[in-house]
Structure 1
Amino acid sequence: MSSTAKPTSSENIVAQKYDRCLADLIVKSGVGFSVGVIASVIIFRRRGWPIALGTGFGAGMAYADCDRLFNPARIPGMRVIPASEAAKYTTEPSK
């Protein structure tokens, strides 16, 4: 049996990216919430702001990861080469 890989549609790729972003948001906000609750109980005498701060940090980290996932050109050190310049860098086999 031959195992030919079926090409993935662009809708499925976008859906997978959204799923990953949602999972990141839930996990990172939950970890931030947990750290905020622990800090609130142990260090800050049961105040509410460490919980909000931790949850906000988690959501912000998830947002930044999602932004990088959908727009990889914003990754530091990444360079986008225009098509006219890209032709100089491609090597074609000579005949």
Structure 2
Amino acid sequence: MSKPSSSEDIVAQKYDRCLADLLVKSGVGFSVGVVASVILFRRRAWPIALTTGFGAGAAYADCDRSFNPARIAGVRVLNSTQAPPPESK
């Protein structure tokens, strides 16, 4: 039987996941920007900044959704008094 996690551990795991997601998505955006800058835009700097920002923004949105599940489209958070009765089989 596993020991229940404390709320501090859960928040720490979410922050760790958010930081890792930020590094990965910003890194991918940076890489795409470098390739686009060299191949398409004659070594300009703006494609690198733009795609890195897109990656960081996507990571921010994912992190926001993990900390606030009410922001997920189509999801409704119910109080325990509003919860529907369990279905019987």
Pairs within 5 Å for 1:21-36:
21-36=18-33
- What is the identity, as a one-letter code, of the residue corresponding to 1:70? F
The equivalent of 1:6 in structure 2 is 3
2:75 to 75, 78, 84: 78
The count of aligned residue pairs is 87
Structure 1 residues 43-88: Cα deviation after superposition (integer angstroms, max 9, x where no partner): 00000000000100000000000000001111000012234322xx
Gaps of 5+ in 2: none
Separation in 2, partners of 1:69, 1:82: 19
- Structure number with larger C-alpha Rg: 1
> What root-mean-square deviation, in Å, do the aligned CA atoms of Structure 1 and Structure 2 show?
1.4
Of all paired residues, the percent bearing the same amino acid is: 75
TM-score w.r.t. length of structure 1: 0.86
**Residue in 2 that maps onto 1:90:** 85
Secondary structure, in 3 states, of the residue corresponding to 2:51?
helix
